[in-house]
Each structure stands twice: as structure tokens, then as C-alpha cells.
Amino acid sequence: MEQIKIFCPATVANISCGFDVLGLALNNVGDEMVFTKNNSNKLKITKITGADLSTDLKENIVGIVAEAMVEKHKIDFGIDIEIHKKIKPGSGIGSSAASAAGTAFGVNALMGNVFSKKQLIEFAMLGEAFVGGSKVADNVAPALLGGITLIKSYQPFAYFSLPVPAALFVVVVHPQIELKTQDARKILPKQVPMKNAIAQSAHLASFVHALHTNNYKLLGTSLQDFLVEPHRKILIPLFDETKQEALKNGALGGGISGAGPSQFYLCKGKETALKVEQSIATRYQKHNIPAHVFHSEVNREGIYSF
């Protein structure tokens, strides 16, 4: 293989009850990347569109991941990398994760697929650590694998792919502001009350059970965040109003996507998703706050070539 073009999906991380351990992939929303072998024996970022990012390998998440892979598995060729950003950085739907996961996938393909999916996630986590300060996989795992993923542990690293109910849709609203993951983490407390930790654990467990039993009602009531949302929601315009609007129009539940400012709302069926999408868009329009609102099925494939 001399060249591969790939689509890297946007993702929703945390999913309210699973801080740093839950994530899902979105459909039809994501970045595109092109990887081409060269004869210079060097890694190069040759083109970036859609965002003002550095082409310096040491200053770009793509370079961090690619260099780590080449260090682990030596190659006798170089790679030119094009990045076409369609996911706005700082949006809360996995912009950096798409770049990290896409790089792991693309470089591995040109190497002859020498690394396992688990290893690709671990390489992509290095990129997430570079950007966000923490080596987490709740975005990169679903980006690579598709569907809904659960990170069981980070040391040692272990994960599961969870079942996706057939009628599950996601509505995403992105207020047009940027919120960096590192800044959103700084606002979180270092310690939490025991009762909140217990409640969060119970809701995470019931969320996983709801997926396995196709219990949409339980799925919705499990989307509670006792640890992060109370602190981060003050950074997001109209957060409480938007949540009330979504639930009133039939959303199962929802909350902050990743570090924000995007919010997500899970819905049963496309009809409900469209209703929720329109109601949220109208709410932001009434307040003259620019926001991008869209609905999506869950991407069950993850990154793919085209």
C-alpha cells in the first residue's frame, strides 16, 4: 500500500456517568487524513486545512503519535501526512482524538497492519496526553473501534466494546466557543464526596446494563453526572435551559460531551432526534447565541478508508 485516505469520526466522551471511561463514535461527522509513502525516510506533515495547527512533528499530535509508532517498528520509507480538520478544535467532540486515532490507523496501514487495535489505542493515547495532559482513551477508543466503548482500566490498559441499541440516535449542540480540555480539567475538584462516587458508580453500571438489555428508559435515567457536570456546566452558555428543552422534547438524557462546550442528548429514533435538534436550535436562536446543532446515528465502524 502506497497511500491511504481515511475518515476519522467525531466522538462523545464521558457520556455523563463514565468520566474518562465511556465514549461513543458519531456518524458522518469527522476529519479526513491522507497518508502517502515517500522516499525521504522522513515523517512529514505536508498539508493542514480547516485549522491553524503546526506542521512541526514535535508540536502536533499527529507527529507525537507517528514518531512513537516508527520508534517501536522501524520502517524503510517516509510518510507524508495531510490533515483535513472538519472537527473544530476545542469543541468537545474529539477533535484531537480524531487526529491521534487517525494517525495510528493510517501509519499502521502503511506499515502493513503490524499493530493490534489495542496497541493503536495506546499509541493514540500518547497524542491525547500531549494535548490534554492526561493519557485517556474515552475518545480515541470509540474513534478507532466504532460503537460505544468502556475503558476497564488504564494500568494495565483494558477495554470493552459495548452493544449499541438499534434505534439509538445522538443530538449534539456545539455553542460556537472553544473550551480547551486542560482548562476544563483545572476547574474540577481533586476530591469528591463518597456519596457522589457511589452514585456515579451505580449509574455507570446501570448504563452498561441498559445497553445489554436494550432498555431505553433505564439508559436515559442512567445519564447522570455527579462528579463533573456540576462544575463544568457554568462554562457552557444555556446549559441548564438546553437540557430541560431536550428532555421536554423526548430526549432520553444527556449532558456535557467530553470537556465541553458541546452537549449531547441520546434519543430513541430519528423522529425524536429531529424534534430535539430543532427545539435546541430554536432555543439558541432566541438568545442570539451561535450554535451548531445536528443529529447522528452511532458510528459502528470507527475509522475507515475511502
List active site positions.
Answer: 128, 181
CA distance 278 to 203: 29
CA distance 125 to 136: 6
Are 77 and 37 in contact, with CB atoms under 8 Å apart?
A: yes
Cell of 52: 491553524
CA distance 56 to 66: 12
Are 273 and 267 in contact, with CB atoms under 8 Å apart?
A: yes
